[in-house]
Structure 1
Amino acid sequence: MIQRFMQIYDNFFEKLRRADFVALLLIRLYLIPVIYTGAHSKVVGFSTTVEWFGASIADGGLNLPFPTLLAFLATSTEVVGLICIALGLFTRLLSIPLMFMMSAASLLVHLPNGWLVLASKSMESSQRLSGFMTWLAQNFPERFNYVTELGDPVMLNNGIEFAATYFIMFLALFFYGGGRYVSADYWLKKKFSGKNGNML
């Protein structure tokens, strides 16, 4: 009985493997606006990025050596990565520098703030915001209604939560590629090696 159940179970999920490319496609589609936001801000504000990379920690910077070179490498990685992840081209290869960037962002920018991106209600910053919102509601109800009309205000904690999540998604692309049917990698491999599956 158990053996029969396991056989049915295995057969069911084996058939589902035909659609496993959907998960990889969705990961790529999810990451496109994430990479675009970073790439766009660095391209249009390149000088600001250089200043931030080179400024001292006391001045809110990262205090990195060779800030112009590192800013150029970061910008280039995100621009090329955006194009390749969108096309599913050299997906595994481009995942490596993008994972490195996520690791660097986590360690240099987000790690000092802990895990959470948004401050929890128990954090001092959230309690201060809550106190301010209570004061606003009591003294300026019209302004309170205006501020909360589209949602409740939250306090940014800027932890590593999102950067770690993106790293894991790039890691999945590194191991599994861009997916069948909807990636340039798949069609390149099919054309030049005559095999199905992921590559690059």
Structure 2
Amino acid sequence: MNKILSLYQKTAGYLHHADGLPLLALRLYLAPVFWIAGTNKLAHFDDIVMWFEQGLALPFPWLMAALATWTEIIGAVLLVAGLGIRLISVPLIITMLVAIFAVHWPHGWQAIADPGSFAANEHAAEATQRLNGFLGWLKSNHPGRYHYITEFGKPVILNNGIEFAAIYLVMLLVLVFQGAGRYVSLDYFAGRKLLNR
């Protein structure tokens, strides 16, 4: 038993030197998510302002759209660099909370409608049945178009629930509490430089 405990402690000691790698993985996973979201908002900024105002009834829609857009774009760059991670994670968390409660909350948990999965809402079974009915009809009546639609994967119904936004929120919370990661971020090297002064 002592040998197992000793081996465990040695392994944990070795892993301690690589504890920045999971944080780097989180940052590199989140960066393209926010980059794409932010640059898409920037490319269609007037439409986003109108959606914030009319579709979501958010106050100060132009300001809210600008804050969301630039938080996501700047946040993506800082996530890649590992710079100011604890600071930038806070406005990114706020952006995710707004997305969760203003956009996705009415649709429940699931991002993709799946009646057999966790927290399926009341529409998931009906949405799946309708999709399968359409695909069956397409396969019977237009096999070439069916193949064209299904060639690269199974079509799904977007449920637009909070699932992805909640996952991103949890990942950002980890970055707030753990930081950017040892050896793999500008935050780490900037912190070391400040300590050496």
Give the match's secondary structure for 2:17.
helix
TM normalised by structure 2 equals 0.91
Q: Which residue of 2 aligns with 1:170?
A: 172
Counterparts of residues 1-200 of structure 1 (less than 5 Å): 1=1, 3-55=2-54, 61-121=55-115, 123-194=125-196
Q: Which amino acid aligns with 1:78?
A: E
Is the Cα–Cα contact under 8 Å of residues 31 and 75 in structure 2 kept in the other structure? no
Q: How many residues align?
A: 189
Per-residue deviation, residues 107-164 of structure 1 (Å, max 9, x unmatched): 1111111111110145211110100111111111121112111111111111111101
**Gaps in structure 1 of 5+ consecutive residues:** 56-60, 196-200
Is the Cα–Cα contact under 8 Å of residues 23 and 175 in structure 2 kept in the other structure? yes
RMSD of aligned Cα (Å): 1.4
TM normalised by structure 1 equals 0.90
Q: What percentage of aligned pairs have identical amino acids?
A: 46
Instruction: Give the structure, 1 or 2, with the largest relative contact order (CA under 8 Å, sep 6 or more).
Output: 2
Q: Which amino acid aligns with 1:165?
A: I
Q: Which runs of 4+ in 1 moved over 6 A?
A: none
In structure 2, what is the Cα distance between the partners aligned to 1:64 and 1:164? 20
